[in-house]
A and B are shown apart, each in its own frame.
Chain A
Amino acid sequence: MINLDLTADVVVVGGGPAGTWAALTAAEAGADVLLLDKGYCGTSGPTASGGTGVWYVQPDPEEREKAMASREKLGGFLQDRRWMARVLDQTYENMNRLEAEARYPFPIVDGVPHKRGVQGPEYMRRMRSWIKRAGVRVLDHSPVTELLVDGTGTVAGVRGHRRQHGTGYRVRAGAVVLATGGCAFLSKALGCDVATGDGALFAAEAGAEMSGMEFSTAYAIAPAFTSVTKTAYYGFATFFRGDGTWLEGAGSQGGRSVIAKELLRTGTVLCQIDRATPEQQRQMRLGQPNFFLTFDRLGINPFTEKFPVTLLLEGTVRGTGGIRIIADDCATTVPGLYAAGDAATRELVCGAFTGGGSHNSAWAMSSGTFAGRGAAAFATALGATANRRRLTGVGEAGIQRPFDRTDALDVIRREVHPYDKNYLRTASRLEPALAHLDAVWDGRRGGAVATGGDLPGVRQAAAMVAHARWMYTSALARTESRGMARREEFPRLDPNQYHRLTVGGLDRLWTRPETVTGRELAVAS
Chain B
Amino acid sequence: MIEVVSTERCVSCDVCIAVCPTNVFEAGPGGIPVIARQSDCQTCFMCEAHCPADALFVAPHTHPVPADSPLRDEEHLAGTGLLGSYRRELGWGRGRKPGARLAVGPELRPAAT
Contact = CB atoms under 8 A, between A and B. Distances in A.
Nearest to B110: A70
A492 B101 CA distance: 45
Contact of A45 (B20, B21, B45, B98): B21
Please tell me the size bucket of the interface on B.
Answer: 35 or more
Interface string A217-231: 000100101111001
Q: Report the interface size class on chain A.
A: 35 or more
A192 interface: yes
B65 to A, nearest CB: 10
A298 interface: yes
B40 to A, nearest CB: 8
Contact of A226 (B17, B43, B110, B113): B43
Given A188-B43, A193-B42, A357 B112 contact: yes
B23 A164 contact: yes
Given A40-B21, A104-B100, A225-B63, A232 B105 contact: yes
Interface stretch (A286-294, A368-376, A392-400, A463-471): A286-294
A95 to B, nearest CB: 13
B90 A121 contact: yes
Given A286-B103, A287-B104, A193 B109 contact: no
Contacts of B102: 107, 286
B89 interface: yes
A356 to B, nearest CB: 3
B32 interface: no
B14 to A, nearest CB: 11
B86 A235 contact: no
A163 B109 CA distance: 44
Nearest to B26: A164
Most B Cβ at <10 Å: residue of A109, A122, A190, A288: A122
A153 interface: no
B112 A284 contact: no
A241 B83 CA distance: 34
Interface in A25-73: 38-40, 42-45, 48-49, 53, 70-71
Contact of B90 (A48, A119, A192, A226): A119
A49 B112 contact: no
A406 B113 CA distance: 33
Contact of A289 (B42, B60, B99, B104): B99
Contacts of A104: 100
B62 A226 contact: yes
B103 A117 contact: yes
A235 B22 contact: no
Given A121-B49, A163-B23, A289-B86, A40 B18 contact: yes
Contact of A225 (B46, B62, B92, B99): B62
Given A253-B111, A289-B89, A49 B103 contact: no
B60 A318 contact: no
A191 B89 CA distance: 19
A141 B100 contact: no
Nearest to B109: A235
A226 B61 contact: yes
A235 B90 contact: no
Interface string A92-125: 0000000000001111110000100111011000
B95 interface: no
B106 A284 contact: yes
B47 to A, nearest CB: 8
A255 B63 CA distance: 28
A235 B112 contact: yes
A188 B99 CA distance: 26
Contact of A71 (B46, B89, B99, B111): B111
A272 interface: no
A297 interface: yes
Contacts of B20: 39-40, 43
A74 interface: yes
Interface in B55-113: 59-63, 71, 82, 85-86, 89-90, 92, 98-106, 108-113
A331 B90 CA distance: 37
Nearest to B85: A296
A354 B23 contact: no
B111 A74 contact: yes
Contact of B60 (A40, A226, A286, A353): A226
Interface in A220-250: 220, 223, 225-228, 231-233, 235-236
B19 interface: yes
Most buried by B among A39, A121, A226: A121
Contact of A286 (B22, B62, B82, B105): B105
B32 to A, nearest CB: 18
A289 to B, nearest CB: 4
Contacts of A122: 90, 98-100
Contact of B46 (A108, A121, A253, A289): A121
B106 A276 contact: yes
B44 interface: yes
Contacts of B103: 107, 117, 119, 286-289
B22 A194 contact: yes
Contacts of A118: 100
19 contacts: A43-B19, A43-B46, A43-B50, A53-B112, A70-B110, A71-B111, A105-B98, A192-B42, A193-B22, A193-B40, A220-B113, A283-B104, A283-B105, A286-B103, A287-B106, A289-B90, A293-B60, A357-B112, A357-B113
Given A280-B106, A357-B113, 14 more contacts: A38-B21, A39-B23, A104-B100, A117-B105, A164-B23, A191-B46, A193-B22, A220-B113, A231-B113, A252-B112, A288-B103, A289-B90, A293-B86, A353-B111
